[in-house]
Amino acid sequence: MSLTLNQFLGLLLTFVAVVVATVVVVFLLQLRRTVRQAESTLTQINSLVKNLEETSRKVNNELDEAGELIKASKKIATSVADLTWMATTKFIRPSSKYWPIVFPLLRLGWRQWRKFRQKEGKNGG
């Protein structure tokens, strides 16, 4: 039994149609799986974006508080600098001419005080 050209071409077209239909069905099934995975991925991305926004808000709040802390620290540093400047210009430098007299007197007084305390300790208080 031999096939005519028209029968052969019809058989060939049928075979090609079956192969194309199979490829299309497999492609559509894979596309469906990909869409499901994409939906789950988008859901995860959405939750991550919400978490990131919340974290960003918290970080911004902490940075605002840190900025206030830095401003307060700058105020404190300038105040300490002003106090030290005032102490050196108003008290330490003017009194430095009396130090050669005051320090030996203080050292003598400290030694006498220690001797007194030691005698009290030996005598029983």
- Each residue's pLDDT tens digit, 58-70: 999 888 888 888 9
E strands, 21-60, are none
Taking only the tens place, the pLDDT of each residue in 4-28 is 999 999 999 999 999 999 999 999 9
Angle at 66 between CA 63 and CA 70, to 5 degrees: 135
**What distance lies between CA 87 and its chain's CA centroid?**
40
Q: What is the pLDDT of residue 124?
A: 66
d(CA 51, CA 62): 16
